[in-house]
Amino acid sequence: MTENLEALTRDESGLIQRVYEDLFEHHTSVAELFALHRRAVRTDMLREVLAIAVAQAEGDSWVDEYLDSLGFKHSASGVTPEMYDWFVECLMRVFAEISGPQWCSELEEGWRDVLGQVSAAMLAAGAGAAES
């Protein structure tokens, strides 16, 4: 995954543009959540997601607490559980597109697994916050 991430981010601005184009194209309602965020903020958001995914895959200890905080913020911002799935599907489409022939089932499984872990942790934190 790390090598794939390096390949994906060679043209970071292109990756970021494609991710948000794809997300808004397939789920126009999500664009409203990002309406107040400038491009630089969206860039930082995607960088953060990718860094967290790699850290999660590597078992870094700081990730769990950070995901709790991030999950709470997402829940408070109106992000619904289905939106996590939409975002993962968006990433898979764009990663496959940018990776080209290097994209394979192993990479897809790896990314899906780690992004699923990240999503589950954030959703649990958001649900816990809603119950409080």
pLDDT in tens, 43-89: 898 999 999 999 999 999 999 999 999 999 999 988 999 999 999 99
Alpha helices in the chain (DSSP H): 2-8, 12-26, 39-57, 63-76, 81-99, 105-131
In Å, the largest CA–CA distance within the chain is 47
pLDDT band at 8; cut points 50, 70, 90: very high
Q: Report pLDDT for 56.
A: 93
pLDDT at res. 67: 94
Local confidence band at 91 (pLDDT 50, 70, 90 cut-offs): very high
Q: Give CA–CA dist 48/32, Å, rounded.
A: 20
* pLDDT attached to residue 41: 84
- Kindly tell me if the per-residue pLDDT of 36 is higher than 80: no
What is the band of 132 on the pLDDT scale with cuts at 50, 70, 90?
Answer: low
pLDDT for 39 equals 78
Specify the CATH number for 2-131; select among 3.40.190.170, 3.40.50.410, 3.40.50.300, 1.10.490.10. 1.10.490.10
Question: Where are the domains positioned within the chain?
Answer: 2-131
Helices 39-57, 63-76: axis angle to 10 degrees equals: 140
Q: CA-CA distances (angstroms) from residue 112 to 18, 73, 120?
A: 18, 22, 12
Output the six-digit token pair for 64.
Answer: 């769990």
Tell me what the mean pLDDT of segment 14-32 comes to. Answer: 94
Q: Do the beta carbons of residue 40 and residue 84 sit within 8 Å?
A: no
